[in-house]
Chains A and B, each alone.
Chain A
Amino acid sequence: MESFFHSVTLDRKLCKGCINCVKRCPTEAIRVQNGKAKIIKERCIDCGECIRICPHHAKQAVYDPLSILDRFEYTIALPAPSLYGQFNHLDRVDIVLDALLQIGFDAVYEVARAAEYVSDITRTLLEKGGLPKPVISSACPAVVRLIRVRFPELLPHVLPVRAPMEVAAQLAKAEAVKKTGLPPEKIGAIFISPCPAKVTAVKMPIGVESCAVDGVVAAHEIYSQLLRVMKPGSEAAPRQQTAGRIGIRWGQSGGEADALAHDQYLAADGIENVIRVLESMEDDQLGDVEFVELNACSGGCVGGVLNVENPYVAKTKLERLSRFKPVYRRDPGPVPQEMFFDHAIEFVPVMQLDPDVSVAIEKLRRMEEIESRLYGIDCGSCGAPSCRALAEDIVRGFNTEMACIYVQRAYLQSITQEMSRLADNMPGEEEEERQEE
């Protein structure tokens, strides 16, 4: 099995061993062991739910520092559309793009612009037919990973088109090579990310052999630096914005689906809702829906844990910024060719109990048996998210029934009863007591 890189990590010093994250994780990838949370790497999809919920800030995302710019001779910022929704009183996207140049980037290429190409090609593919319907968007890396580990039968439905971030990096670098004459390795394309899943997607690319993005900086990391150089009403900011309404609205749930100008679409956001839609899809219950846009974060990318603003406020701001924009801003002309996956996305069988079905049946039977002995209150004190998950851990050999505090209590009660029974029957002591009387 491939090894997994994860952006989501744990700071052991800060972890109190509570079970907030354990309960919240959509793939049951976290356990508390010896008083500290532990992430099961194969299962983690980097959705960031644990980062969101951890009251002690022990769950963190790993990303690159802004000093990554020093590694390259020429750098290009790739701002996610959701970045535009992070600022108050912003009336022009140009102000943000100009600020990116001021903090050290040599150029800016809007991911929103690449998103318009992706919308274009998706619309063409849907019209052409041939893809199994409903087609699922491949833009959210946490969703793609979720499908790989939990919904493998839906993999053929995933749109085989590279995510806007990837397309933006490719196009931006090609432009930069032409403009500067530098070799590609001296040019750094740095994504300004709303979420840890994108950090992971750069290190472990989705649908491509290697990712064209050279680094990922968190939106919240450069937020204050951007604020410092952004002047209200800075009319001087050069007009360089390249994306229209369609591209900007990719930053929020529904934006990608809306861009298809198609009635039969569905957009779900928030990991629980995403799971519900995928479950219905498994049961073939989506009817005539042709396109499914899924975002792991509530509100879409504006809801990413590396953002600053409340997702719904950010959404309103994106709407305001994009309202008077032309629908499309991208240059007319053919859609770039290298936009399809060159690498199949594969099933990662991390949920199975055993590679041999016969052994797995035996294990599942034992798991059901153990579960029936547990108390079914899913308290999480054992460090697993539910009694069923504990039963599974036991069958996999990672834990024992004694991890359950209720099993422990019953055991202690039974041995104390046994001890007092034994004590009552100790002849010597009773005689001594009698003599004393």
Chain B
Amino acid sequence: MNILQMSYEVPGDDFTHAGEASSATKRALKKLGISPAVVRNVAIAMYEGEINMVIHAGGGHIDLSVTPDAVTMVLTDHGPGIPDVEKAMQNGWSTASAEVRSMGFGAGMGLPNMKKYTDEMHIDTEVGRGTTITMTVYLNKA
């Protein structure tokens, strides 16, 4: 099956470059003629994930794969891990520092938004070792 794979490095604590991976992804998906609604969902989920890695995990990398059926994003970091996933999934719950919040980030909507805009989301996390989040958006919803 035809599959397109791309990967992006996300630098840690660097807000000036945050969002570059989601921008590049959007450009690629538009070239593929993928429906605007799907592009938007992927963009929002990926941007949130990217910012999360910048704020909490000191960076990481994103692997993107696109098939005629789905867009899958795998976000991997070696940050602190998420101690309580259930809590982190609640709207407004955040561990972001006051400094980060003052920049308008860390509103506690990251993970909930990622879930909201994707069809499948799986979180694999271990405190002290890092987090891997796999998100899938289907192109042709039944």
A-B contact pairs, 6 of them (CB 8 A): A153-B39, A284-B47, A351-B30, A352-B32, A361-B66, A364-B31
Q: When the two chains form their complex, are residues A283 and B31 in contact, meaning their CB atoms are under 8 A apart? A: no
Among the listed stretches B20-28, B53-61, B80-88, which one makes contact with chain A, having 4 or more residues with CB under 8 Å of it? B20-28
A contact patch SS: helix
Cα-based distance from A23 to B104 in the complex (angstroms): 34
Interface residues of A in 351-372 (CB under 8 A from B): 351-355, 357-358, 360-362, 364-365, 367-368
Chain A residues with CB under 8 A of B68:
357-358, 361
Q: Which residues of A contact B (CB under 8 A)?
A: 150, 152-153, 155, 279, 282-285, 287, 347, 349, 351-355, 357-358, 360-362, 364-365, 367-368, 392
Q: When the two chains form their complex, are residues B40 and A353 in contact, meaning their CB atoms are under 8 A apart? A: no
Cα-based distance from A357 to B6 in the complex (angstroms): 16
Closest to B30 in A: A351
Cα-based distance from A241 to B21 in the complex (angstroms): 52
Interface residue B34 (Cβ < 8 Å from any Cβ of A): yes
Q: When the two chains form their complex, are residues A351 and B31 in contact, meaning their CB atoms are under 8 A apart? A: yes
Q: When the two chains form their complex, are residues A353 and B19 in contact, meaning their CB atoms are under 8 A apart? A: no
Chain A residues with CB under 8 A of B26:
279, 282
Residue in contact with B36 in the complex, picked from A155, A362, A368, CB distance below 8 Å: A155
Q: When the two chains form their complex, are residues A357 and B22 in contact, meaning their CB atoms are under 8 A apart? A: no
Closest to A367 in B: B31
Q: In the complex, how many angstroms separate the beta carbon of B86 from the nearest chain A beta carbon?
A: 24
Told that A283-B43, A283-B47, A360-B33 touch, could you supply 20 new A-B pairs with CB distance under 8 A?
Answer: A152-B36, A279-B23, A282-B26, A282-B40, A283-B44, A284-B47, A285-B47, A287-B104, A351-B31, A352-B30, A353-B32, A357-B32, A357-B139, A360-B32, A361-B2, A361-B3, A361-B4, A362-B2, A364-B4, A364-B31
Closest to B66 in A: A361
Q: When the two chains form their complex, are residues A365 and B4 in contact, meaning their CB atoms are under 8 A apart? A: yes
Q: When the two chains form their complex, are residues A361 and B104 in contact, meaning their CB atoms are under 8 A apart? A: no
Chain B interface residue number, banded: 20 to 34
Chain B residues with CB under 8 A of A355:
33
Chain A residues with CB under 8 A of B66:
361
Q: In the complex, how many angstroms separate the beta carbon of B121 from the nearest chain A beta carbon?
A: 17
Q: Which residues of B contact A (CB under 8 A)?
A: 2-4, 6, 19, 22-23, 26, 28, 30-34, 36-37, 39-40, 43-44, 47, 66-68, 104, 113, 139
Chain B residues with CB under 8 A of A360:
31-33
Chain A residues with CB under 8 A of B36:
152-153, 155, 347
Chain A residues with CB under 8 A of B34:
357
Cα-based distance from A360 to B29 in the complex (angstroms): 10
Residue in contact with B32 in the complex, picked from A284, A361, A392, CB distance below 8 Å: A361
Cα-based distance from A361 to B104 in the complex (angstroms): 36
Q: When the two chains form their complex, are residues A352 and B33 in contact, meaning their CB atoms are under 8 A apart? A: yes
Residue in contact with A352 in the complex, picked from B23, B31, B104, CB distance below 8 Å: B31
Cα-based distance from A368 to B66 in the complex (angstroms): 14
Task: Point out which of B3, B31, B113 has the most chain A C-beta atoms below 10 A from its C-beta.
Answer: B31
Task: Point out which of A283, A287, A362 has the most chain B C-beta atoms below 10 A from its C-beta.
Answer: A283
Closest to A347 in B: B36
Q: When the two chains form their complex, are residues B47 and A353 in contact, meaning their CB atoms are under 8 A apart? A: no
Q: In the complex, how many angstroms separate the beta carbon of B57 from the nearest chain A beta carbon?
A: 19
Chain A residues with CB under 8 A of B23:
279
Q: When the two chains form their complex, are residues A153 and B32 in contact, meaning their CB atoms are under 8 A apart? A: no
Closest to B107 in A: A287
Cα-based distance from A279 to B18 in the complex (angstroms): 13
Closest to A352 in B: B33
Task: Point out which of B2, B39, B104 has the most chain A C-beta atoms below 10 A from its C-beta.
Answer: B2
Q: In the complex, how many angstroms separate the beta carbon of A345 from the nearest chain B beta carbon?
A: 13
Q: In the complex, how many angstroms separate the beta carbon of A133 from the nearest chain B beta carbon?
A: 15
Residue in contact with B33 in the complex, picked from A279, A285, A357, A362, CB distance below 8 Å: A357
Residue in contact with A354 in the complex, picked from B33, B39, B44, B67, CB distance below 8 Å: B33
Closest to B1 in A: A358
Cα-based distance from A364 to B4 in the complex (angstroms): 8
Chain B residues with CB under 8 A of A361:
2-4, 32, 66-68
Chain B residues with CB under 8 A of A354:
33
Q: In the complex, how many angstroms separate the beta carbon of B118 from the nearest chain A beta carbon?
A: 13
Q: In the complex, how many angstroms separate the beta carbon of A9 from the nearest chain B beta carbon?
A: 27
Cα-based distance from A349 to B43 in the complex (angstroms): 18
Task: Point out which of B6, B33, B40, B139 has the most chain A C-beta atoms below 10 A from its C-beta.
Answer: B33
Q: When the two chains form their complex, are residues B22 and A283 in contact, meaning their CB atoms are under 8 A apart? A: yes
Cα-based distance from A285 to B51 in the complex (angstroms): 11
Q: When the two chains form their complex, are residues A153 and B40 in contact, meaning their CB atoms are under 8 A apart? A: yes
Chain A residues with CB under 8 A of B33:
349, 351-355, 357, 360
